[in-house]
A and B are shown apart, each in its own frame.
Chain A
Amino acid sequence: EDQVTQSPEALRLQEGESSSLNCSYTVSGLRGLFWYRQDPGKGPEFLFTLYSAGEEKEKERLKATLTKKESFLHITAPKPEDSATYLCAVQAGSNSGYALNFGKGTSLLVTP
């Protein structure tokens, strides 16, 4: 069965303090790994898609990387506005069509 595990569950950083969020996965035939940001009371906002091991993508202070077993979301010099829940999801060949299988998320709080 496909599994997605995110760690830590919660992370508190000071403004400017860089860190990484982890997403470990076990799937049969990875089609893609997705990162989303979710603010309270809102739907997930798409950030990145990664398709193969070794791939990296960047957007402002965020950088996502992928290996055969896990993905990292690196946050460089975070600002308070980066506070949100970050969700990781996989799209696999073995599950329901193109449905995404989500982890439970990492809740990030960045304090001034």
Chain B
Amino acid sequence: GAGVSQSPSNKVTEKGKDVELRCDPISGHTALYWYRQRLGQGLEFLIYFQGNSAPDKSGLPSDRFSAERTGESVSTLTIQRTQQEDSAVYLCASSFGGHGEQYFGPGTRLTVT
């Protein structure tokens, strides 16, 4: 079946602009995660959604970052007033339940100039 999809695949934006990144999880997966991968660094957890529960936002680095999820489908990660240090690959993953293996999308490469 279809895997996790993300759009856009690449995004170049100017410092100070807002960006929206989209994730379509695997159908039927109740859990959805956002991670960030900066050059030379490991993946960093950002936010976790599980069904209709309140999201776990403990990994968001600042209040410029926010995310929403509609039911058990699409999620959008929004970064306001982008900074150069936000440049990274943003990865989305989904799983069937919180404890299962997470399947990742191809990522969105964000470059802030």
Contacts and interface: CB of A to CB of B under 8 A. Distances in A.
Interface of A: 4, 31-32, 34, 36, 41-46, 49, 87, 89, 91, 95-105
Given A97-B98, A102-B35, 17 more contacts: A31-B99, A34-B101, A41-B106, A46-B104, A87-B43, A89-B43, A96-B48, A96-B56, A98-B48, A98-B50, A99-B45, A99-B48, A100-B33, A100-B102, A102-B42, A102-B43, A103-B42
A49 to B, nearest CB: 5
A97 B102 CA distance: 13
A104 B42 contact: yes
Interface residues of B, number: 27
Query: Most chain-B Cβ atoms within 10 A of its Cβ — which of A36, A43, A100?
Result: A43
B87 to A, nearest CB: 16
Contacts, number: 66
Query: Most chain-A Cβ atoms within 10 A of its Cβ — which of B42, B95, B99, B104?
Result: B42
A104 B45 contact: no
B25 interface: no
